[in-house]
Amino acid sequence: MDAPLDTLIIDRLVRDALLEDLGDAGDITSLAVIPKIATATVVMRARQAGICAGLGFAQSAFALRDPLAEIQCCISDGDPMAAGDDVMIIKGSARALLSGERVALNFMGHLCGVATQTAELVAAVSGTSARICDTRKTLPGLRAAEKYAVRAGGGVNHRFGLYDAILIKDNHIAVAGSISEALDRARRYVGHMAAIEIEVDTLEQLNEALEAGAKVILLDNMSPQTLREAVERTAGRAQLEASGRVSLETVRAIAETGVDYISVGRITHSAPTLDLGLDIDLA
Site for a copy of itself, residues 149 to 208, rule: CB under 8 A? 156-169, 171-172, 174-176, 182, 185-186, 188-195, 197
Does position 257 bind a copy of itself by CB under 8 A?
no
Does position 253 bind a copy of itself by CB under 8 A?
no
Q: Single out the segment in contact with a copy of itself by CB under 8 A; choices: 20-28, 201-209, 220-228, 250-258.
A: 20-28
**Is 146 a catalytic site residue?**
no
Q: Single out the segment in contact with a copy of itself by CB under 8 A; choices: 138-146, 200-208, 219-227, 244-252.
A: 138-146
Q: Which residues pair with 281 in a beta bridge?
A: 41
For residue 41, the minimal CB distance to a copy of itself (Å) is 12
**Which listed residue (47, 131, 169, 215) is catalytic?**
169
Q: Buried b vs exposed e over 183-206: b needs ≥16 C-beta within 10 Å?
A: beebeeeeeeeeebbbbbbeeebb
**Is 102 a catalytic site residue?**
yes
Q: What is the per-residue DSSP string for 69-82? A: -EEEESS-TT-EE-
Does position 38 bind a copy of itself by CB under 8 A?
yes
Does position 248 bind a copy of itself by CB under 8 A?
no
- Residue of 246, 261, 264, 276 that binds a copy of itself (CB under 8 A): 261
Based on its alpha-carbon atoms, the radius of gyration of the chain, rounded to whole angstroms, reads 23
Q: Are 241 and 217 in contact (CB under 8 A)?
A: yes
**Is 220 a catalytic site residue?**
yes
- Residue of 223, 226, 239, 250 that binds a copy of itself (CB under 8 A): 239
Q: Are 153 and 53 in contact (CB under 8 A)?
A: yes
CA distance 152 to 21: 27
Does position 93 bind a copy of itself by CB under 8 A?
no
Could you tell me how many residues of this chain bind a copy of itself (CB under 8 A)? Answer: 101
Q: What is the DSSP letter of 281?
A: E
Torsions phi, psi for 202 (to 5 deg) = -140, 165
**Is 199 a catalytic site residue?**
yes
